[in-house]
Amino acid sequence: MASAPTHPDREIPSPAAADRAPARPARTRAAAVAAAALTVGAGLGLRAVAAGDVAKYGGDALYTVLLLALVVAAAPRLPPARAATIALATSWAVEFLQLTAVPAELSRRSTLARLVLGSTFNAPDLAWYAAGAGAGWLIHSALRRGRHGAGALAR
């Protein structure tokens, strides 16, 4: 015996569906821009209250969170995992670029270049970028799942 077809509006989405669900681009973009601003504030605040490894490695993680927010602002329909992967790959690319003399030379000429590109390769930074990408992915996924889950429950 065949089962009765289900109405598409009444289907219960799988937990992974939130990762693939289309978002409202304008709303997502605005939230991402706000998240980027908050991340910059958190990074500056961390530098103001902490020193040493806490400030350095916390800043590394926040750097990737910032990149993730910028990726989402530029492409709001990207799934959280893809956005986090792009942010992590960019962070790693910048870190590996520090194996050349280019970032150090640019950093000597510009504070902005020093903040964006750094100057010296440091292998532990790679792990902290991954931590930032993971944290950003978890937050982005939870927010997206919450937004889509609330709509599914209202039906």
pLDDT in tens, the chain (155 residues): 555 555 444 445 555 554 555 558 999 999 999 999 999 999 999 999 999 999 999 999 999 999 999 999 999 999 999 999 999 999 999 999 999 999 999 999 999 999 899 989 999 999 999 999 999 999 999 988 877 654 433 33
Name the 3-class secondary structure at 121: coil
- Written as six digits, the tokens of 137 are 């992915």
Q: Is the dihedral of CA 76, 77, 83, 86 positive or negative?
A: negative
Which of 78, 72, 56 lies closest to 129 in space, CA to CA? Answer: 56
Predicted pLDDT at 99: 96
The answer to whether 129 and 62 are in contact (CB under 8 A) is: no
Alpha carbon distance 152, 149 (integer Å):
5
Q: What pLDDT was estimated at residue 152?
A: 38
The answer to whether 113 and 101 are in contact (CB under 8 A) is no
pLDDT score for 149:
53
Residue 102 and residue 113 in contact, taking contact as beta carbons nearer than 8 Å: no
- CA-to-CA distance for 47 and 73, rounded, in angstroms? 25
pLDDT of residue 113: 93
Q: Which of 56, 80, 60 is nearest to 68 (CA)?
A: 80
